[in-house]
Amino acid sequence: MWYNVREMKPVFHALSLIALLLPCTAAAQEAAPQQAPQPAKGGVVNRIAATVNGRPITASEVRMRLGPYFHELSLLYPQQGPRFNSELVKAKKEVLNDLIERELVLSEFETKGYLMKADQVEQEINRRILVGFNGDRDAFLDTLRKGGMSLSEYRESVRKEVTVQAMRASKYERDIPPTPDEIQQEYNTSKSDYRDITQDAVEYDKIFIPAVDQDNPEESPQERYAFACDLRNRLDSGSISFAEAARAYSRDAHAQDGGRWPSIKRRDLAVDFANVVFSVEPGQIFGPMADNYGFTIVRVREKHLAPAPPLSNPEVRQKMDDAVRRKQSEKRYREWVDRLRARAVIRTFI
């Protein structure tokens, strides 16, 4: 089974990875890591985030789309300072703009009587659960609940997305068939995006600093975080090696091995952690990342990526054909959407 990673709205789209590679700053050490905000007791009120020609976009849809961005940013900026807020605002604008565009297209085509089969929607939902939650349906449902969205609401949101994709294809992806050279070039460029990413594996070194030091329980989490930041700076400057730092300060099962962990499959990692680990190059250090237990600094050693499916696979070849056609039609599609936007009545409330 393989997936087009580009179609999964990667969590780092439009976000900067620079914080992964930079040392902690003094400002970062001023505040302790904060917990992600929790839904209010009694449930989340599903407000209207925007309307497009009277068609509502709910706040729960925005929250659900924004969730991966929030989790990744929380890893990158544990103290949630100004940089965290500015990146989150940018992500929120992008999410809302995507949802507005979706409603523009649906509004234009609603008179066409296009219907998406229920099993197609369920297949897409199952694909997202496998890729985004390592196949853990309970974790997926828990994320929905925390975002204040029911499964039926999410199913309707996915139905709209899949319908728009199909409608777009019917309107703008019927150009001159791509040449074999164009298909081969597209495959050479994007073949890695169609791998079964659940089969990827990674080797890394890790330092874990507990939020509470058993030898010094009076030391606050703020002080522990500041220590982790200082250690990261020392690692970057070369004043201490990763192995030395792990043996001296790390508190996990592989500390005495210099923090060296054996190869582990992506599907066996927490989703947020996997997204970060596989986004950086071997040899690079990132962190400290914060969770309820402490602070983690990681150096990626090697990534073992699953092979791309061959172009001889008919389904893969068709995907390449579709991708070339999409690129050819993108300019005209954008112009069409801009015309729809210009004559639409759009109101935003968040």
Residues forming beta bridges with residue 56, ordered by sequence position:
51
Give the pLDDT band of residue 216 (cuts 50, 70, 90). Answer: confident
Residues contacting 199, CB < 8 A, separation 6+: 265, 266, 267, 306
Residues contacting 225, CB < 8 A, separation 6+: 29, 32, 33, 78, 79, 288, 290, 295
Does residue 219 or residue 17 have the better pLDDT? 219
The confidence score (pLDDT) of residue 162 equals 84
pTM for this prediction: 0.55
Residue 54 CA: distances (Å) to CA of 23, 63, 152, 266: 48, 20, 21, 43
Give the pLDDT band of residue 114 (cuts 50, 70, 90). Answer: low
Residues contacting 89, CB < 8 A, separation 6+: none
- The mean of the pLDDT values for the chain is 81
The confidence score (pLDDT) of residue 258 equals 95
